[in-house]
Amino acid sequence: MTLLSIEGVTVRRGGRTIVDGVNAELAAGQFVALIGANGAGKSSLLKAAAGLWKPDAGQVTLDGALLASLSRRTLAQRRAYLPQSPRVEWPISVERLVALGLTPRLPPFGGLDAWLEPALTQVIEACDLTAHRHQTATTLSGGELARAMLARALIGEPDILLVDEPISGLDPRHALDTVSRLQALALGSGRLVLAAIHDLTLAARYSTHILALHEGRLATFGPTAQVLTPALLRQVFQVDARISGQGLETVVHYSA
Amino acid sequence: MKSGAWITVAALGVLLLAAVASLFVGRVHVPPMEVIRGFRSDDLTLASIVLTELRLPRAVLAIAVGATLGLSGAVLQGLTRNPLAEPGLLGVSSGAALGAVISIYFGLAQIWNLFTPLLGLVGAMAAGALTFLFGRGGTLTLILAGAAVSGLVGAFVSLALNFAPSSYAAYEMSLWMLGSLADRSWDHVLVATPFIAIGIVILATLARAIDALSLGEAQAASLGVDLDRTRILALIGVGLSVGAATSVTGSVGFIGLVAPHIVRPFVGHQPSRTLLPSALLGAALLLLADMATRVIPTNQELRLGVITALMGAPFFFWLVVRLQRTAP
């Protein structure tokens, strides 16, 4: 069943059309890899899908309700969004950073209630941050910060997770770790995960679906095994690609 | 006790001590026993008049203004995520200064001593409105608009100084801008505190939003924070409280810049938790600075803004040195 429906979404910025009439019906339990060349409109589509940017044409609905009709708080409880290279601006502790994900669930005043502590402990444990719980977030390594941000996004138990390039700048092991976590969120806990990913091999191995953008338009959307083809990569990235292996053994080779 | 709560208690303790001490300190020597007696008796002795008509309103104003500066500095630093943000950032202090300077320029201050703070308030509101008009759209836009308004209003202040009707008037204007709590009465308290109270309440509602802004604007927005609303409320809150505070005391620098920095390490750098201790510490610092202007023997009145700058600037050197050490 459709959870998030992107209907003819068009985003224009500074007189340029960045996203042009994109349609896609996304359902719970899908891990959708959003692929496309630099400037293809991935980040803009994610922002529109998150309800942060109002589309210039078209609409996005969540469970059939227009995003624009939902209150900020309701929307924030239903979906989490992580921008590209998320940063923390003050040297707060990892625990505090993760707890910020509860903002839409807290009353306007007061601290963190005691009943939220177990949730905090649980998500910190699930993201392998227990050893870093009281560490200052600005001193985390790239991989640790990525996990902390993921924990921040997950603590509010959103149905939808929208992530912009979660593995850029991560070493192979941490990239693998992040992508398999995202997959587990979709397959294991039935969430919808939409993530912009440049590593085609990891996308091929872990994603359930591929949403490919080419110059702002939808190139294709469908199950990874069906739509990720050399022809698609030729169209989207202008590379000669070869896809070998299956499932977690898949490798995408390409040359210009 | 929750970690960090003790800095609030400590700041409150210093504030209370400073408040009590400020009643015993002044140009007119009143023996301590007389001060205590002045509170209890109803008959008008010199001591009781000095106390209830001079020192008490002065202490109340110092607390209100200091709390305003500390709180608005903490809110603006949280909003802009810039450790150099200070209460004058949005142009309202400059607006208040222009209003006050106009009142001195036209000799209104001599007709009625409340003309200066009232025109200061009008100037602060006008400057805040101008910042709002040009500063919509983003935090950077708001800061730039504030800088532009400060610049423009500052030019008018210079113009007034340039064409001052007499050298005495020019001197008065310059002195006013150095800040002072001397000779402030209950009337000044009545003019300023309603605006300060409303402004403080508005600023306090932004606690959750500035916490979320620790993650940057995109994530804060995704967490349900209405960025436009947050910026507008910050401007209104700062406009009312800092506008009113500057209108009655003149420009008092550094308190709003320094107080949040002092408390921040003690509350784990969480922006919302700097608000209360920063306000309390701002009040305590201003009380202490005002006491210093009274205790240090000088021929002319030592101005409040001079003392706060002398106290605040060395602190900033220390901050720079610490940054150099901790920077990667």
* CATH number of the domain residue B11 falls in: 1.10.3470.10
B222 has a chain A CB within 8 A of its CB: yes
Instruction: Tell me the pLDDT tens digit for each residue of B175-196.
Output: 889 999 888 889 999 999 999 9
Q: Is A199 contained in some domain?
A: yes
The gap from C-alpha B97 to its chain's centroid, in whole angstroms, comes to 13
Percent of chain A with pLDDT over 70: 98
At A235 the pLDDT is 95
Give the tens place of pLDDT for each residue, B265-292.
899 999 999 999 999 999 999 999 999 9
User: Could you give the dihedral angle defined by the CA atoms of residues A137, A140, A143 and A149, in that order, rounded to the nearest 10 degrees?
Assistant: 0
Are A86 and B221 in contact (CB < 8 Å)?
no
Is the pLDDT at B112 greater than 80, yes or no? Answer: yes
User: Rounded CA gap, B208 and A41, in Å?
Assistant: 32
Q: For residue B209, what pLDDT is reported? A: 95
The residue with greater pLDDT, A197 or B34, is A197
Higher pLDDT, residue B48 or A177? A177
Domain span at A36? 2-87+158-255
Contact A75 B271 (CB under 8 A): no
Task: Inspect the interface and report whether the beta carbons of B215 and A96 lie closer than 8 Å.
Answer: no
Q: What is the pLDDT of residue B40?
A: 67
Q: Look at residue B69 and tell me whether its pLDDT is greater than 90.
A: yes
- CB atoms A72 and B225 under 8 Å: yes
R_g of chain A, CA atoms, integer Å? 18
Residue A189 pLDDT > 60: yes
Closest residue of B to A108, CA-based?
B208
Mean pLDDT of A179-204: 94
Q: A87: which chain B residues are within 8 Å (Cβ-Cβ)?
A: 215-216
B213 and A CB contact within 8 Å: yes
**Count of domains forming chain A:** 1
Flag whether residue A68 sits within 8 Å of chain B, measured between CB atoms.
no
Indicate yes or no: CB of A106 within 8 angstroms of CB of B208.
Answer: yes
Q: Give, in order, the Cα–Cα distances in Å from A133 to each of A95, A147, B210, B272.
A: 5, 12, 22, 20
- With CB atoms and an 8 Å threshold, state whether B268 touches A103: no
d(CA B235, CA B125): 10
Confidence band of A111 (pLDDT split at 50, 70, 90)? low
Computed over every residue of chain A, the mean pLDDT equals 93
- CATH number of the domain enclosing A35: 3.40.50.300
Q: Crossing angle of helices B56-80/B139-162, nearest 10°?
A: 140
| ipTM surpassing 0.90 | yes
A6 close to B (CB below 8 A) = no
Q: Does A85 touch chain B (CB under 8 A)?
A: no
A207 against B46, higher pLDDT: A207
Whether A134 and chain B come into contact, CB under 8 Å, resolves to: no
Residues listed for chain A: 256
Q: Looking at the DSSP assignment, which residues form a beta bridge with residue A2?
A: A27
Q: For all residues of chain B together, what is the average pLDDT?
A: 89
Residue A118 neighbours by CB under 8 Å, 6+ apart = none
**B201, B215, B270, best to mutate vs chain A, most A CBs in 10 Å:** B215
Per-residue pLDDT reduced to its tens digit, B123-167: 999 999 999 889 888 888 999 999 999 999 999 999 998 998 888
**Which has more confidence, B4 or A12?**
A12
Cβ-nearest to B211 among A77, A79, A100: A100
Residue A39 lies inside a defined structural domain of this protein: yes
Suggest the residue from A43, A44, A77, A92 to mutate for an interface test with chain B (most B CBs closer than 10 A): A92
Contacts of A111 in chain B (CB under 8 A): 2
Q: Do B219 and A103 touch (CB under 8 A)?
A: no
User: What's the pLDDT at B322?
Assistant: 80
- Specify the range with the lowest mean pLDDT, choosing from A62-76, B50-64, B309-323: B309-323
- Chain B residues with beta carbon closer than 8 angstroms to that of A52: 218, 221-222
Interchain CB contact of A55 with B (< 8 Å): no
In a domain, A153, yes or no: no
**Count of structural domains within chain B:** 1
Among B291, B318, B285, B308, residue whose Cα is nearest residue B71:
B285
Chain A contact present for B214, CB below 8 A: yes
> What percent of chain A has pLDDT above 90?
83
In angstroms, the CA A182 to CA A80 distance is 13
Q: What is the CA radius of gyration of chain B?
A: 20
In this prediction, residue B54 carries a pLDDT of: 85
A96, B270: Cβ pair inside 8 Å? yes
In this structure, are residues A97 and B214 in contact, taking their beta carbons and an 8 Å threshold? Answer: yes
Query: What DSSP state is assigned to residue B266?
Result: G
A106 and B223: CB-CB below 8 Å?
A: no
- Closest residue of chain A to B5, computed from CA coordinates: A111
A85-89, A158-162, B41-45, B58-62, range with the lowest pLDDT: B41-45
A6 is a domain residue: yes
Is residue A66 domain-resident? Answer: yes
Task: Of A112-116, A167-171, B117-121, give the lowest mean pLDDT range.
Answer: A112-116
Put simply, the answer to whether A104 touches B226 (Cβ < 8 Å) is: no
Q: Which residues of B touch A88 (CB under 8 A)?
A: 214-215
Listed by number, the residues of chain B in 285-324 with a beta carbon closer than 8 Å to a beta carbon of chain A are none
A152 touches chain B (CB under 8 A): yes
pLDDT tens for A47-76 read: 999 999 999 999 999 999 999 999 999 999
Evaluate if residue B315 carries a pLDDT over 60: yes
The confidence score (pLDDT) of residue B259 equals 94
Q: How many CB pairs under 8 A join A and B?
A: 74
Interchain CB distance below 8 Å, B205 and A108:
yes
Indicate the pLDDT class of residue B1, thresholds 50, 70 and 90: very low
Instruction: Decide if A34 contacts A22 (C-beta within 8 A).
Output: no
Smallest CA–CA distance from A75 into chain B, residue: B224
Residue B327's pLDDT is what?
Answer: 57
**What tokens appear for B39 in the block?**
């509170």
Q: Residue A16: CB partners within 8 Å, gap ≥ 6?
A: none
What integer is the mean pLDDT of B291-306? 88
Domain boundaries, position B70: 5-326
Mean pLDDT of A88-116: 85
